[in-house]
Amino acid sequence: MKKLLTWGAVGLLTSALLDPLIYGMLELPVPWLRDLFMATGGAACCYLLVRFRHEL
């Protein structure tokens, strides 16, 4: 479970930060709502990792 939360946090936060850069370079409109959901999911995974660090 710890590995899944770690991969989720890293993957979601990284993609939420790099997605606008990629869309900007391609001159396409940035899907901000999707990026917001990815950032929220990554932050939730980080929160769960910290909150339950002794149980995992």
State how many domains the chain has: 1
pLDDT digits (tens, 9 = 90+) for 6-35: 999 999 999 999 999 999 999 999 999 999
- The label of the residue with tokens 């770690």 reads 6
**13 occurs within a structural domain:** yes
Residues sharing a CB contact under 8 Å with residue 2, sequence separation 6 or more, in sequence order: 49, 56
**56 occurs within a structural domain:** no
pLDDT digits (tens, 9 = 90+) for 34-48: 999 999 999 999 999
**Residue 39, domain extent:** 2-51
